[in-house]
Amino acid sequence: DKNFVGEISQIIGLQKYLQFGTVEETFQKLRSTFDRHMKDLNFSTSIENKHQMEKDNEALRKDAEFLKKYLDNIGGDITDLDHKINNHISEIVTLKNTFEKRHYTSQIINTVCDEFLKMEDYSSPETFRGKIVKRTRKIDGVELSFKELHISHDTHNFEVSILKRINNCHGIIKIFGLAKESNVLYLVTEWAEFGNLKEYYSNHDVDFDLKLKFALDVVHGLNFLTSIKILHRDVKSDNVLITIDRHAKIAYFGLSEEFVTATRNVGLDIQSIRYTAPEKLLNPEYKYDIKCEVYR
C-alpha cells in the first residue's frame, strides 16, 4: 500500500502508527492481501510460510521497539510526556501549508497573528553584536535578542506567528515575535549568550561529551523541523546558536525565502560547497530534500 509506505517513511506518520500499535496489524493485512493476489494470479512463489511469518513478526516487533526508543531519545520533542504525538505538529503543518499556498484570508490572519511586542516592556540595548541587540524583558528578567529586519511586516507577522508555535522544541531557537520601534522592525528570539557554534569552538575547549551533546541537540532540532516539513537548507556552525546553559539550537529558518534571507548573515560562503550533497552538485535542478539536509 503506497499510502502506508509513504506515511511510515515520515517521522510524524511513523509515530502515529507506533502510538496506536497498528504497524503490525497493518503489515499483516497488507501481507494477506498480497498473498491472496499471488494465489489469484497462480504465481508459484508465495510468502505464506508459517516459519517465515514468525520471523517477519519478530523482526517487526524488534524494529518497532527500537523506533520507539529512538523517538523518545532523539525524536526532537515530536512526542509529549505521555509518548503521544505532540498536538502542535498537525496544527503547525496545516498553518504552514496555508501560508505556502497563499490560502489565507484576512480572517485567518487576524486569528493566527499575534500583536507586535511593545518596546516599552524591554530594557534599553545592553549588548551589541552587529545587527543583533540584547534587551531584557522587564517583567521577568529574561534576556532576548532583537535583530533588525528589512522586510515588510504584513505577511511576515503571519509567518512569525506560525513559527512561534514550535517553541517547545529544545533544539530550535525560541521565537517570541516581532517588535517595532519607529519604522524599524525587529525579530525577537531567545538570547544565545555564547554566540554561534563556530564562535564557541574558537573561544572554548570542547571535550567529547560536550561535542556529543551539541550533536544530539542539533539532531533534535532537525528531526522536529523535518516532522513539520521545514527544510533549513543551510545547517552549519554559523547557524547553530549556543545558549547560556550550553544548549545548541538551530536558528535562522522560516517558511519564505525572503524571511530566511533577512534573518541570516548571508554572504559568499565557498566553504558551504564542501558540504553540499553530491546529487545536488551533479544536478542543480535536483530538488533539495531531507537527504541533502542530513548530508550537510
Locate 288 and state its grid cell: 533539495
pLDDT (tens digit per residue) in 79-102: 554 445 556 677 777 788 777 777
What's this model's pTM, rounded to 2 decimal places? 0.72
Give per-residue pLDDT as tens, 120-136: 999 999 899 988 999 99
Query: Mean pLDDT across the chain, nearest whole number?
Result: 78
- Backbone phi, then psi, for 235, in 5-degree steps? -80, 110
What's the fold here for domain 87-190? Phosphorylase Kinase; domain 1 (3.30.200)
Q: Read off the C-alpha cell for 50.
A: 508459517
Q: Residue 219, exposed/middle/buried by CB under 10 A (0-12, 13-18, 19+)?
A: middle
Q: Taking the domains of the chain in order of start, what are their residue ranges?
A: 2-74, 87-190, 267-296
Task: Note the pLDDT of residue 268.
Answer: 47
Q: How far apart are CA 91 and CA 239, in angstroms?
A: 26
Give the Cα separation of 37 and 197 in Å (integer).
55
CA distance 166 to 90: 11
| Mean pLDDT for the stretch of residues 226-247 | 88
Average the pLDDT over 206-228 and give the result: 89
102-111, 216-225, 275-284: the lowest-pLDDT one: 102-111
